[in-house]
Amino acid sequence: MTGVVISAWSALSPFGHGRAAFADGVLRGEPVAPVSTKDDWAAAEARVVPDFDIVDQLGRKGTSSMDRTSALAVATLRELVPEVAVDARTGVVLGTTSGSNRTQFEFTRDSLTRRKPYFVNPAQMPFALMNSAAAQCAMWHGLTGPNSTIAAGRTAGPAVLRYASRLLRTGRASGVFAGAVEEHSGVRELLEPGGFPGEAAVALFLQTGAAGNRPGLAEVLAVDTALDTRSGAPRDALVACLEHVLAGLTVDEVWGVATSAADPELSEVELEATGEVLGQRTVIRPGHLIGDTGAASGVVGVAALLAAAAGDPGARGRLAVATAVDRDGTAGAVVLRLTGTIESRGEG
């Protein structure tokens, strides 16, 4: 295997903390019950990561002003870093919508409402930046390779995998923690009302097949993103993506598909597009289980495929497809080759 492979992964999601909790939740297929949430901005019923207190998870040092987005990302990598070989060229690529909306709104509010000369909390400023989560992951875990943030909304998952794969193929990194994170907050409810709110952080460890420091779970065969500029319809963009990433491959090899959308309209778009190109296949819909995880939804789909494949020996050696769509007409698709070294369901 000489391409880019996923050799480990982890997740914090409404299913719970860690890879095992996520895999068990996907295999059970039961939606997580929403809980009531409220902050200074709005109240909502949402599916959130349970029992996640920043200080309890990460300690008091360096967390007094840390936002939930950064904390979720740092805690997710905590499970992965000890499992893989990390060196000075190991990098981080994280997807986001715009960082922590709540921190950005609160910092802006303070600049307008607190007494002159605008006594904002300076310690909060770094966490109001879009790249805060990726930077915190690097600092907390001593990762000194490339550090990038990809702001692509719900298509961040495919965009992150493409960017991370390019870093590896061009020799700019020895390994990459590639993932995405989206926190739930009242501010996000104001910006995107009427959805099925959720939150998650997922990280995959990517390396080239030649690196060989850990067996591959899946090879990343192809990634594509597209925008339909004619009609602005994500369905047409997704069909184009799927046809491109599957060029030269046999559709009959596809074992399963993970669609990312939680919104009924977007979910129907994905099902129509995947059905047109792939026909009837096993479909995993994690968004219907844990809610709209925004920028994390595409990587959530990849993790769901890995989790489901672990419970099905017939998946080994076959193809799996993860899709992503957004309301602005963008879409993305990832094709994986599931290997014979799938982790067991219960591995932690």
What pLDDT, on the 0 to 100 scale, is given for residue 116? 75
Asked if domains 4-208 and 219-338 share a fold, the reply is yes
Reply yes or no on domain 219-338 having CATH 3.40.109.10. Answer: no
- What one-letter code names the amino acid at 84? V
Q: State pLDDT tens for residues 100-156.
A: 988 888 888 888 888 776 688 888 888 888 999 999 999 999 999 999 999 999 999
What pLDDT, on the 0 to 100 scale, is given for residue 138? 97
Q: Comparing 35-44, 229-238, 246-255, 261-270, which segment has the lowest mean pLDDT?
A: 229-238
Whether 264 and 271 have beta carbons less than 8 Å apart is answered as no
What pLDDT, on the 0 to 100 scale, is given for residue 270? 95
What pLDDT, on the 0 to 100 scale, is given for residue 193? 80
What pLDDT, on the 0 to 100 scale, is given for residue 114? 80
Rounded distance, CA 164 to CA 173, Å? 9
Q: pLDDT-based confidence at 210, cuts 50/70/90?
A: low
CATH number of 4-208: 3.40.47.10
Q: pLDDT-based confidence at 212, cuts 50/70/90?
A: low
Residue 343 pLDDT > 70, yes or no? no
Q: State pLDDT tens for residues 130-139.
A: 999 999 999 9
Domain boundaries, the chain: 4-208, 219-338
Cβ-Cβ contacts under 8 Å for 26 (sequence gap 6 or more): 15, 284, 286, 289, 304, 307, 308
Residue 1 pLDDT > 60, yes or no? no
Residue 345 pLDDT > 60, yes or no? no
Q: Which residues pair with 202 in a beta bridge?
A: 11, 180
Burial of residue 211 (number of CB atoms within 10 Å: 0-12, 13-18, 19+): middle
